[in-house]
Amino acid sequence: MSDETSPSLLDRVRADDGAAWRRLVALYHPLVLAWCRQGGAGADAEDVAQEVFLAIARGLDGFQRAGPGGFRAWARGVTRHKLLDHFRRRGRSPVAAGGTTAALAVQGLPDPGPGSLDDATETGGLYRRALDLIRSSFEEKTWQAFWQAGVEGRDTAAVAAALGMSPTAVRIAKSRVLARLRQEAGALID
């Protein structure tokens, strides 16, 4: 992996990099699809998710990060609007208990607060997918050092011994993967 700094994933998407767009969709599609299902789209969830990504593509130049979770919150807002559009076009309400209207169901789409279990679940899923996206950028030994020391929380000396590395090399491997993760997707997740 090159040590030179490359633009973040979001910057590359804004620059019309097709591969970066595919990575962004791979990162966010499961989450957007879940929001569409939670918002009552049912069998149309995949279609609504496609509309969400079209709106994200069109509006990305105007997006400005406004603190932690900024992109995720923005994407959730786009999803809410697309769900409302979906129900308006169909002239119906989603299936919901108590006769709630489409607007109430969509507005009820969870907006987890920082530190909540839902927030941790969403964030964890995003990080797992982001790690999958960057894994091929590293040699297997570097990845294993990061994974064992950083994710599994194993003792650095034990990881070093198991992989035939020095403890310093394990710490460097962990640091490189984490730096790449922050550089690649940090603004899209945290």
Mean pLDDT of all residues in 17-26 = 92
pLDDT one-digit tens code per residue, 94-123: 544 444 555 555 555 656 666 666 777 888
SS3 label, residue 4 = coil
CA distance 19 to 184: 13
Q: What is the pLDDT at residue 48?
A: 94
Q: Give the pLDDT band of residue 190 (cuts 50, 70, 90).
A: low
What's the Cα-to-Cα distance from 76 to each of 29, 31, 41, 81, rounded to whole Å?
A: 12, 9, 14, 9
> Is the separation of the CB atoms in 57 and 82 below 8 Å?
no
Q: What is the pLDDT at residue 110?
A: 59
Confidence check: pLDDT of 16 > 80 = yes
Q: Which amino acid is at 30?
A: P
CA distance 131 to 127: 6
pLDDT one-digit tens code per residue, 130-169: 899 899 999 999 999 999 999 999 999 999 999 999 999 9
Confidence check: pLDDT of 1 > 50 = no
Mean pLDDT of all residues in 165-179 = 96
Angle at 94 between CA 72 and CA 84, to 5 degrees: 45
Closest CA to 45 of 60, 55, 35: 35
Could you give all domains of the chain from N- to C-terminal order, each with its CATH number?
1-111 (1.10.1740.10), 113-190 (1.10.10)
CA distance 49 to 43: 11
Phi and psi (nearest 5°) for 108?
A: -80, -5
pLDDT one-digit tens code per residue, 23-70: 999 999 999 999 998 888 888 999 999 999 999 999 988 887 766 568
Q: What is the pLDDT at residue 33?
A: 93
Closest CA to 32 of 53, 3, 55: 53
CA distance 58 to 14: 10
pTM flag (> 0.85): no
Query: Over the chain, what is the mean pLDDT?
Result: 82
Q: What is the pLDDT at residue 47?
A: 94
The pair of structure tokens assigned to 129 is 């997918």
